[in-house]
Amino acid sequence: MIGLGLAGLTLPSGRVHAAGSDPLILALGDSLTAGYGLPEGEGLVPQLAAALAAAGRPAQVENAGVSGDTTAGGRARLDWALGGLPRQPDLVIVALGANDALRGIAPEEAEANLGAILDTLGRKGLPVLLVGMLAPTNWGPDYRKAFDAIYPALAEDHDVPLDPFILEGVALEPSLVQPDGLHPNAAGVKKMAARLAPVVIQALDLGKAPKLRD
């Protein structure tokens, strides 16, 4: 890890980093974060960085999205993802769970993995934005009710900001998704990034690390 040195400035979030540098954001996710099926530069990470810059809050956004990853996979590689950064991030966006829902993984298992991720970030004192997912209807109403409740419960338990649904305004819109009907196209990602940018800015300003569970 590269040392930050003595020169630094305090952001509204209370994080300190090298003078003149932009906030560092780690986006931990799956194919929705990785930019599946899109040319380089059109995925969520570069489009979110562009949206933040357009809003007057430029940031370095690092892509830790792995297509096909579940909450268990994200939990397993969290330390590796953090260790690959030049310094501690000013915000970690946790956007996992889509593949758990598609595969019908037990909601309590997904919740346990996400909770462990938040606990790890809390112990490290790293601010978090939790980004939610909604379950498909094919597993039945009981599964969907249990899965959809994961993210609000975790956000409350860990006292972190929540964006309830990463695909808000994009899912099920034919003009905004790829032919597979699941992944957003470039226009869909641009809409996602524009919607998420102010949420990310608020999370940066808040600078809230997860509260550890008892």
Please identify which of the residues 142, 175, 180, 214 carries the catalytic annotation.
180
Convert the pLDDT of each residue in 76-131 to its tens digit. Answer: 999 999 999 999 999 999 999 999 999 999 999 999 999 999 999 999 999 999 99
Q: Is 31 a catalytic residue?
A: yes
Torsion angle defined by CA atoms of residues 131, 88, 52 and 186, in that order, rounded to the nearest 10 degrees: -60
Q: What confidence score (pLDDT) does residue 213 get?
A: 79
Q: What confidence score (pLDDT) does residue 48 get?
A: 98
Convert the pLDDT of each residue in 61-72 to its tens digit. Answer: 999 999 999 999
Please identify which of the residues 13, 31, 69, 163 carries the catalytic annotation.
31
3-state SS, residue 96: coil
Please identify which of the residues 13, 17, 69, 183 carries the catalytic annotation.
183
Give me the DSSP letters along 105-161.
--HHHHHHHHHHHHHHHHHHT--EEEE-----GGG-HHHHHHHHTHHHHHHHHHT--
Q: Is 17 a catalytic residue?
A: no
Convert the pLDDT of each residue in 12-36 to its tens digit. Answer: 333 444 445 899 999 999 999 999 9
